[in-house]
């Protein structure tokens, strides 16, 4: 438990010593990438703007942002389904802390799904439901997911040009 954050702390210190300022990592995140914890202000701005069809906020990309909004709207349901499975408290804490961190941070909103990928406990209940499906249904589900995933990968790389 104590060793886990040592890699991050070492990296932050290394960047700070290399730049001559121990807060250099956080300065880079804020000023270079516009990526910092803002207590959800940016998330609320994106949700409000997307709801009325406007895209005049920082890092506005209509398709990825719409997908991000759909994911954010699904989060309460996924959290409720996860809690119904009664997972260990450590998984609940990890999930809620991760969701709060992602939604409370100013970032490219279209990356919300990518930042939530490590929050696997949200998918425990849907995975249990999928386990009850027969092979033909699973083939349709995963085939559709693969096609949608491939389309989105193409869109991000070739349409948006964002690596």
Taking only the tens place, the pLDDT of each residue in 20-77 is: 999 999 998 888 888 889 999 999 998 988 888 887 777 777 788 888 899 999 999 9
Any residues with CB less than 8 A from the CB of 129 and at least 6 apart, and which? none
Q: Are 110 and 68 in contact (CB under 8 A)?
A: yes
pLDDT band for position 163 (cuts 50, 70, 90): low
Whole-angstrom Cα distance, residue 4 to residue 23? 21
pLDDT score for 101: 94
- The answer on pLDDT for 121 being more than 70 is yes
Q: Are 99 and 35 in contact (CB under 8 A)?
A: no
Task: Output the DSSP codes for 104-117.
Answer: TEES-GGGHHHHTT
Give the global pTM: 0.78
Whole-angstrom Cα distance, residue 135 to residue 133? 7
């Amino acid at each position: 438990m104590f060793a886990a954050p040592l890699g991050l702390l070492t990296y932050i210190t290394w960047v700070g010593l290399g730049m001559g300022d121990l807060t250099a990592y956080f300065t880079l995140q804020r000023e270079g990438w516009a990526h910092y914890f803002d207590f959800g202000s940016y998330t609320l701005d994106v949700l409000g703007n997307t709801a009325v069809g406007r895209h005049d906020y920082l890092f506005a990309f209509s398709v990825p942002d719409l997908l991000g909004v759909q994911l954010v709207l699904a989060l309460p349901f996924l959290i409720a389904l996860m809690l119904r499975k009664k997972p260990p408290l450590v998984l609940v804490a990890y999930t809620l802390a991760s969701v709060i961190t992602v939604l409370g941070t100013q970032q490219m909103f279209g990356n919300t799904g990518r930042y939530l990928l490590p929050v696997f406990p949200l998918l425990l209940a849907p995975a249990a439901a999928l386990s009850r499906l027969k092979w033909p249904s699973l083939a349709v589900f995963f085939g559709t997911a693969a096609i949608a995933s491939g389309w989105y990968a193409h869109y991000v790389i070739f349409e948006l040009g964002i690596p």
